[in-house]
Structure 1
């Protein structure tokens, strides 16, 4: 920021009101570590107030009992407004998380309006009431399956896609009539706070959507354990996901968890190298590797290894680091100094364990942004699947290349991980690739592509990559309770089976 520029402050949004506390979060631009904004920080008491506001709004019924058509129209109005304010929302994202303007416009914010439109369409078509087959035994009766909003839903979102991954939780929750309390990551709350104001401008009743930024161990823990919250949606690390699950178990609330990944890119020996080289780099290096399903393990057959690595290093050497607001920039910084230090420590562990950094391998220097959190695009060869860089989620631009011999060995290596979020398979033979895809233990397997997030299909992971799915045609189901309403049609006491217990009632 230039000297004299005013730092904008963002209050919390609770019950339709701006709320400040005595605590303030400093929002710093990762490319230069400059203070660009502040936001009110809330703890357990702010979460309590937000849950109370959400419950009051739910009980009021102006949203929870509104028609599906009305709720869909409001969601569409919000989507339209997001489109009108795209540039502003992009700026709020990149000033906090370091995404490039190209990436934020295309993905981080660009996906939000169409995904919101998708959820609005689901709401219009959703079967909130379904007649079931008529019962004839033990008596004649008719059951109706009702799907009703849970009440207050909690959403805990990460810093890498602050608005989009929040929206995957709160949009389906809102679509079926719930109130929501969102806790964005304390590093990146700005777009969510602004969204709350946009939503109310477009007709969302006050208190239906509440946003409380704050530390995870305080605000997040209270939200996950709060007895007034009936459902938690969380995206983040597997370690934190385990804690969310533990906290939620105290009140037996349901959870949807989208957690970590160590996704493999399995290149078969007949792959188109021109496509695969660029695709693998896109799969790993997009957004500096800070995507949960990034393809950070590259499995190469012996027959292709040397040529593929040579081509890939040459191609990766053209990735341009620079100002995040420059449309010519390919890669920005990582999100924080803490994240940079962790990535550098893992890079050092790779070298210590015997891997070879054939590209990068350290901190980058970007002219004019010397105080930023920059990591060189890094490619390791000679990696074994038991090394830390092959086992742990680095969340940085670090690719581990692992050799394999037979196809079966490659599949085994792909599955040899605690994670199972995503995978890619690269082959010129579609039938062969589809056969391999069936053997991969992952929630998404992309053939000859990567990062193909489609709101019309479910997204989530196997094993320790999560619980449940987001997106897809059943995306609203986790945010409703199912109720069976049974209507007796027999008409008389004699037709009912009461004499099983009360056979002597008239004696």
Structure 2
């Protein structure tokens, strides 16, 4: 049954003003929700309402511990609806239910963390260098925009909403067109938790319409974006015209390095998880595996045994490890990359095709795929596929290995598997990535900043200082001198 979704705009639950469209369940292609897309006029109404609401005493005058209380209530609201939200996100993007449960729990933890960070956040009394007292304080930027992706909506939206609210900002969301539901549900929970109407709005629709209008709006003071690099570069160009700060968490082509002394059981499990969980639809997916030549054959044997054992199937099944890709169009893109890899000389060791029969024929499924025989310079090894495709590459020399790992426009994440802590530090320090995992992969902590370098983005999310991304810094000087300033000759 198709559910009609209203959205939250300028403090009112209503249909947006644009054309109606529908979203589909990737597992079988069925229509699960219908809603109206937002328009440029909706963007202006939401932003104007947010600017008004943020200046009202009901929000502007809240003490930090009072804002923290609201964030704690949002966390509790997410947990109270945890299973429902996990099932709704499963319908939104086809992720296995075990994964969507983890994402919902992560979102609740994010609000809880920033509640604590908000309540304990201190301004600074700086060392005086004369007859004056100096202070550094942080004030909310104002109305900020958030543009979020389809692959992990509730977690990404929480990572933007929680610090923005903690800072005292108002926020206008543009969720991915095909996965709008989690932002809408978070707006409901935030309203019930005591966030004043107008502080949060949700504007579903096309990025070329809603996203552009949001970035260009003169009252928007910051954009937090997670998504593709080409879109992020466009946002950065528009933001530059306003001298507006941004945080851009963009694409990746992350290398994972298996050293000669690695524990292969751990390494194989980590590489499998790093690329095939989330069906590879992850910016930090470990899509290039560099394996030392001395253990390459054994690693490959164990890896292929592990790939063959992965359970691809219905996202509603508790046992499923890989669900469908987000839609048929994205599957076609992944298929084109695999075909390109074969044309470039690669050999498909497993996968490289769609599973067949039953549910597989109705949904946008694709088998986990392993390819070897390609150089790191191959297009398939250089560009982000955003799907369950792993390139296996042997290495011999550490200097050459590091050159290959860093020979990429992206720099989001990387992994190292070794028993040698000195080698781990040496290699990790040389990798040009924002995150390095050592003997683990794709684990996250909200207390630890996350972001990329090069074309993987700018700025950081998470961590206690994540609140400061949504503030402007102001300095105060309090004169303590007994006599008038001497310059005027008094």
Scaled to the shorter chain, the TM-score interval is: over 0.9
**Contact 1:268 1:407 (C-alpha < 8 Å) held by counterparts:** no
Map 1:176-191 onto structure 2 (within 5 A).
176-191=167-182
Q: CA deviation at 1:414?
A: 1.3
- Give 3-state SS (helix, strand or coil) of 2:449's partner: coil
Map 1:335-414 onto structure 2 (within 5 A).
335-414=326-405
- Give 3-state SS (helix, strand or coil) of 2:464's partner: coil
- Give 3-state SS (helix, strand or coil) of 1:317's partner: helix
Q: Structure 1: how far apart are the matches of 2:403 and 2:444?
A: 25
Equivalent of residue 211 in structure 1, options 199, 202, 206: 202
Structure 1 stretch 265-274 or stretch 58-67: which is displaced more? 58-67
**Contact 1:355 1:382 (C-alpha < 8 Å) held by counterparts:** yes
- 1:462 paired with 2:453, answer yes
- 1:120 paired with 2:110, answer no
Q: Structure 2: how far apart are the matches of 1:64 and 1:376?
A: 51
Give deviations 1:117-163, integer Å, cap 9, x for gaps. 00111101112x32222342xxx222221210011011000000111
Give deviations 1:465-486, integer Å, cap 9, x for gaps. 1101111121111100111122
Give deviations 1:37-90, integer Å, cap 9, x for gaps. 112210211111110111011111312320111111111111011111011111
**Contact 1:355 1:381 (C-alpha < 8 Å) held by counterparts:** yes
Q: CA deviation at 1:369?
A: 4.2
Q: Structure 2: how far apart are the matches of 1:411 and 1:277?
A: 21
Counterpart residue number, 2:4: 9
- Give 3-state SS (helix, strand or coil) of 1:329's partner: coil
Map 1:3-152 onto structure 2 (within 5 A).
5=1, 7-20=2-15, 21-106=17-102, 108-127=103-122, 129-136=123-130, 140-152=131-143
**Contact 1:316 1:377 (C-alpha < 8 Å) held by counterparts:** yes
- Give 3-state SS (helix, strand or coil) of 1:358's partner: strand
- Give 3-state SS (helix, strand or coil) of 2:337's partner: helix
TM-score scaled to structure 1, two decimals?
0.94
Counterpart residue number, 2:282: 291
**Contact 1:19 1:40 (C-alpha < 8 Å) held by counterparts:** no
- 1:199 paired with 2:190, answer yes
- 1:303 paired with 2:302, answer no
- 1:480 paired with 2:446, answer no
Structure in which a larger fraction of residues adopt helix = 2
Q: Structure 1: how far apart are the matches of 2:147 and 2:95?
A: 20
Q: Structure 2: how far apart are the matches of 1:132 and 1:496?
A: 24
Counterpart residue number, 1:224: 215
**Contact 1:385 1:391 (C-alpha < 8 Å) held by counterparts:** yes
**Contact 2:10 2:201 (C-alpha < 8 Å) held by counterparts:** yes
Structure 1 stretch 86-95 or stretch 480-489: which is displaced more? 480-489
Q: Structure 2: how far apart are the matches of 1:282 and 1:64?
A: 44
Give deviations 1:249-308, integer Å, cap 9, x for gaps. 121110011011000011111111111111101011011001110100000111111121
TM-score scaled to structure 2, two decimals?
0.97
- 1:437 paired with 2:437, answer no
- 1:321 paired with 2:312, answer yes
**Contact 2:27 2:359 (C-alpha < 8 Å) held by counterparts:** no
- 1:237 paired with 2:237, answer no
Q: CA deviation at 1:366?
A: 5.0
- Give 3-state SS (helix, strand or coil) of 1:270's partner: coil
Q: Structure 2: how far apart are the matches of 1:497 and 1:468?
A: 43
Between structure 1 and structure 2, the one with the greater Rg is 1
Give ranges in structure 2 of 5+ residues lacking alignment: none
